[in-house]
Amino acid sequence: MRLMKRPRDSKRSTGPARGPSRPERADKRTPRRNRRKAPTRPIRVVGIVGGIGSGKSHVARLLADRGATVIDADSVGHALLDQGPVQETLVRKFGQDILGTPDEDGVRRVDRRTLGAIVFKDEASRKVLEEALHPRMRSTFERVISRLGRQLSPKPGALRLPAPVVVLDAAVLYEAGWNDLCDLVVFVEAPKKDRIKRVQAGRGWSQEELERREASQWPLELKKNQADVVIRNPETEETAPLAREIEKLWVRLIPNPRPVVSRPKPDATKFDHLIEDEIDVIATERPKRRRKPGGRNSGPSRHKKD
């Protein structure tokens, strides 16, 4: 029996639908694509160094007025002194005398004046303090910088975000090896007579106290030569020269600033709580020991970013 061919029909049925068309599939993929985590914005980290009384904190505040997030190393160190692991280590070494009188909650905290009188007279005692404190401080800096990078979304939207600049105000930036966290280091320079005048008025220190504390740090000329930018901050009533230098630095950090996004959310630019959060986390952790250069299986030494 001969089979007859079925006549061709331009309007014949193609059978059941095999799936949505390409535009429909694209529409279905869109929500999934939107759920992807946005990449972080690059963070520029600026280290601030200089002699005692040179005005490092003042320079940091001027950068904060332009939108930078400031990490005050002294404040982080003071907060960590009151945490259990650091306090226990120092009490074992220096005794109960470094603790002050109980506060309203009956808690005795480290008396920084008493501790300072001990560690700045003896290099071995200062090393004990640095070994207990500096690794935890570094971990705090790293975590805060990382969290800020996740907070700063590159997508324009309804959130007013601070400039992607972090200022690390740390007098012992080079001594502690924290300069490798920085993209750029600024040295704040001021005449010694002006620095003495400032510490006498602000801290009640004598010239001998200032010199004794600076003796435990790198020479100022060495710090100045290592820095990328030098900002002069003499004692004067004129504020315009310092403001111009800060503006030049800011333009270097953010050459093409974008306009601020509208519709801000409350407290969107307040990131100080991140530092407090990370201090609480570090208080319960055991910091990782950094491998000394030249040791066994040590890799290339870490250098400051260009």
Any idea what DSSP says for residue 151?
A: H
Give the rounded distance of the alpha carbon of 205 from its chain centre: 29
Report the pLDDT value the prediction gives residue 162, as an integer from 0 to 100. Answer: 57
| Tokens describing residue 125 | 């005692």
When the candidates are 3.40.50.150, 1.20.1250.20, 3.40.50.300, 3.50.50.60, the CATH number that belongs to 41-153+164-255+271-283 is: 3.40.50.300
Q: Residue 152 and residue 111: Cα distance in Å, rounded?
A: 38
- Domain segments of the chain as ranges: 41-153+164-255+271-283
> Alpha helices, DSSP H only, in 152-206?
192-202
Which secondary-structure segment (H or E) carries 200? helix 192-202
Q: What is the pLDDT of residues 111-160, one digit of tens each?
A: 998 998 898 888 899 999 999 999 999 999 999 988 887 765 555 444 44
Beta bridge partners of 269: none
CB 176 within 8 A of CB 138: yes
Residue 138 amino acid letter? R
Q: Is 254 exposed, middle or buried (0-12, 13-18, 19+ CB in 10 A)?
A: middle
| Cβ-contact 178, 130 below 8 angstroms | no
What residues of the chain score a pLDDT lower than 70? 1-41, 151-163, 256-306
Query: Which pair of tokens denotes residue 74?
Result: 């002294």
Tell me the chain's radius of gyration from C-alpha atoms. 28
Token pair 């290339």 in the structure block, residue: 300
Residues making up the chain, counted from first to last? 306
| Among 291, 257, 255, 241, residue whose Cα is nearest residue 62 | 241
Strand order through the sheet with 184-189: 69-72, 165-169, 44-50, 184-189, 229-232
- Distance (Å, whole) CA 75 – CA 73: 5
Determine contact, residues 48/169, Cβ cutoff 8 Å: yes
Q: What is the pLDDT of residue 244?
A: 93
Q: Can you give the pTM of this predicted structure?
A: 0.71
Alpha helices in the chain (DSSP H): 22-34, 56-65, 73-81, 84-94, 112-119, 123-151, 192-202, 207-214, 220-226, 240-253, 272-283
